[in-house]
């Protein structure tokens, strides 16, 4: 079953421009912060699973899924629980295909965000492998026991906006629409990255060219125009809008024995240093630049100054001309004749460094196992990422609790404010 195994990569930076033990998976999480209190799930914890994904996705690998409940603002009846949303630490904001809504709440029942003239606000989200297009709407979002009220979200592929022409500035980067479950490989994307908004001051200034935010005056006037959007109306990180536990998140996944595991269960814990299940413990803090990046050096390959850690990428992605690409439709991934071992060093903006060893397997051989969690999957950066990029994707999280500290936020035990990582 090798269907939807395409590379899944992070949203481009818009800033500054569950089951028992499974074979191959350790039975306990090695972490300084437990995800449960007294044997019951804590208020600030949501279950995470890596599995085949929603049926409409046609099969997935290395995608961490979570469930949410979404409601029309202020409503307790116009609500819908949606499973299999991808947990993405490489982007900020909730993005839902319009097609998954309708069982308890429809896209039209969510509040449309408009500009000062009452024109609908529509967003383009550019990913390294495509783009998503649709209106910005307000919704109440519940994840685990936490609630974010009236948070701006992105409803992609909304048929009510199908007549609005997608600006070329949106589609020309990687002209692959990602507006459906099948295209996304998930029932939505839960972006819990380091930034509060998905574009920030750059889009609030009006400098962007329509590749992010647009206003679309009416269905009879399909031409959309670039728009400056204040922070309060931009698609926002729901985890930063909680009443408490809102300074960051902790993604915990167990170690996965090579080559992989059929399924994996973990936890998304909200807050950093806010409760007894999310303290930093012995984790070191690694501060990031304004784009959310740091430097990686790899023995024999040199430096990758635009590096990031991203649970929304399903492998390690970096350029290495010495690694053989897979044949045919899997050419984005590496297929060395035997496992290739690497030693890297991550260096943060606070000059803290850490060595990281990793391995690259033959992707096609790993796919043939039909496992959904592959610990050594890797591929080239391709056209969607530049040559200076090292994308530490989901395999980085296996057996390594990773904390995401939001921009401008502090945490007990942290020496600096975010944006930062800790592990």
Residue 287 and residue 236 share a domain: no
Residue 293 and residue 364 share a domain: yes
The range of the structural domain enclosing residue 312 comes to 279-422
Among 191, 216, 241, the domain-final residue is 241
Give the Cα separation of 178 and 182 in Å (integer). 8
Closest CA to 45 of 144, 136, 120: 144
Among 211, 241, 271, the domain-final residue is 241
Provide the phi-psi class of 382: left if phi over 0, else alpha when psi is between -120 and 50, else beta.
left
Closest CA to 83 of 94, 103, 67: 67
Residue 139 and residue 57 share a domain: yes
Q: Is residue 380 part of a domain?
A: yes
Residue 236 and residue 292 share a domain: no
Give the Cα separation of 74 and 57 in Å (integer). 31
Q: Is residue 65 part of a domain?
A: yes
What are the backbone angles phi and psi of residue 224, rounded to the nearest 5°?
A: -100, 155
What are the backbone angles phi and psi of residue 390, rounded to the nearest 5°?
A: -125, 115
CATH number at residue 166: 2.40.70
Peptide bond before 159: cis, by omega within 30 degrees of 0? no
Residue 96 and residue 223 share a domain: yes
For 184, the enclosing helix (H) or strand (E) is helix 181-184
Residue 174 and residue 312 share a domain: no
**Burial (CB count within 10 angstroms: exposed 0-12, middle 13-18, buried 19+), residue 416:** middle
Q: Is residue 84 part of a domain?
A: yes
Closest CA to 410 of 285, 294, 310, 292: 285
Q: Can you give the pLDDT of all 423 residues of the chain as single tens digits?
A: 223 445 554 444 333 323 222 233 332 233 334 443 434 568 999 999 999 999 888 889 999 999 999 999 999 999 999 999 999 999 999 999 999 999 999 999 999 999 999 999 999 998 877 899 999 999 999 999 999 999 999 999 999 887 788 888 988 888 888 999 999 999 999 999 999 999 999 999 988 898 999 998 876 666 889 999 999 999 999 999 999 999 999 999 999 999 999 999 999 999 999 999 999 999 999 999 999 999 999 999 999 999 999 999 999 999 999 999 999 989 999 999 999 999 999 999 999 999 999 999 999 999 999 999 999 999 998 766 778 999 999 999 999 999 999 999 999 888 889 999 999
Q: Is residue 270 part of a domain?
A: no
Q: Is residue 262 part of a domain?
A: no
Give the Cα separation of 254 and 29 in Å (integer). 5
Domains held by the chain: number: 2
Residue 208 and residue 62 share a domain: yes
* pTM recorded for the entire structure: 0.91
Give the Cα separation of 265 and 398 in Å (integer). 11
Residue 283 and residue 219 share a domain: no
Residue 308 and residue 231 share a domain: no
Q: What would the DSSP string read from start to end of 327-380?
A: SGGGTTBB--SS-EEEEEEEE-TTS-EEEEEEEE--HHHHHTTT-SEETT-EE-
Instruction: Decide if 336 contacts 324 (C-beta within 8 A).
Output: yes
Q: Which residues pair with 28 in a beta bridge?
A: none
Q: Is residue 144 part of a domain?
A: yes
Give the Cα separation of 401 and 410 in Å (integer). 18
Q: Name residues whose C-beta falls within 8 Å of residue 345's C-beta, 6 or more positions apart in sequence.
A: 296, 297, 353, 354, 355, 356
Residue 352 and residue 304 share a domain: yes
Q: Is residue 253 part of a domain?
A: no
Q: Is residue 162 part of a domain?
A: yes
Residue 298 and residue 211 share a domain: no
Residue 356 and residue 231 share a domain: no
Among 188, 223, 241, the domain-final residue is 241
Give the Cα separation of 64 and 47 in Å (integer). 10
């Amino acid at each position: 079953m090798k269907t939807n195994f395409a590379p899944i990569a992070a949203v481009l930076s818009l800033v500054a421009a569950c089951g028992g033990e499974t074979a191959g998976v350790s039975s306990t999480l090695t972490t300084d912060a437990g995800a449960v209190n007294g044997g019951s799930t804590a208020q600030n914890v949501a279950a995470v699973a890596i599995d085949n994904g929603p049926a409409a996705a046609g099969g997935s690998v290395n995608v961490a899924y979570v469930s949410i409940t979404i409601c029309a603002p202020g409503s307790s009846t116009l609500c819908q629980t949606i499973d299999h949303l991808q947990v993405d630490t490489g982007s900020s904001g909730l993005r839902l295909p319009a097609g998954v809504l309708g069982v308890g709440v429809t896209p039209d029942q969510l509040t449309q965000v408009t500009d000062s003239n009452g024109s609908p606000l529509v967003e383009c989200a550019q990913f390294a492998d495509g783009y998503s297009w649709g209106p910005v709407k307000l919704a109440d979002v519940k994840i685990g026991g936490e609630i974010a009220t009236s948070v701006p979200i992105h409803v992609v592929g909304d048929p009510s906006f199908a007549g609005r022409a997608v600006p070329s500035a949106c589609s020309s980067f990687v002209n692959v629409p990602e507006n459906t479950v099948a295209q996304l490989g998930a029932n939505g994307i839960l972006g819990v990255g380091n930034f509060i908004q998905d574009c920030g001051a750059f889009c609030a200034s009006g400098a962007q060219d329509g590749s992010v935010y647009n206003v679309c005056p009416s269905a009879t006037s399909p031409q959309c125009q670039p728009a400056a959007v204040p922070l309060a109306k931009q698609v926002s990180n729901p985890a930063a809008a909680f009443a408490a536990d809102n300074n960051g998140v902790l993604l915990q996944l167990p170690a996965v024995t090579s080559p992989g595991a059929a399924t994996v269960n973990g936890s998304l814990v909200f807050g950093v240093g806010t409760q007894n299940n999310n303290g930093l413990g012995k984790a070191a803090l690694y501060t990031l630049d304004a784009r959310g990046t740091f430097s990686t050096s790899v023995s024999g390959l040199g430096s990758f100054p635009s590096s990031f850690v991203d649970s929304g990428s399903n492998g390690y992605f970096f350029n290495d001309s010495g690694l053989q690409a897979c044949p045919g439709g899997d050419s984005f991934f590496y297929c060395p004749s035997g496992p290739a071992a690497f030693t890297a060093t991550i260096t943060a903006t606070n000059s803290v460094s850490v060595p990281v060893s990793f391995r690259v397997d033959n992707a096609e051989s790993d796919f043939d196992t039909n496992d959904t969690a592959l610990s050594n999957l890797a591929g080239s950066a391709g056209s969607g990422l530049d040559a200076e990029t090292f994308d530490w994707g989901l395999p980085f999280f296996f057996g390594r609790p990773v904390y995401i500290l939001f921009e401008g936020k502090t945490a007990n035990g942290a020496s600096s404010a975010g944006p930062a990582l800790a592990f």
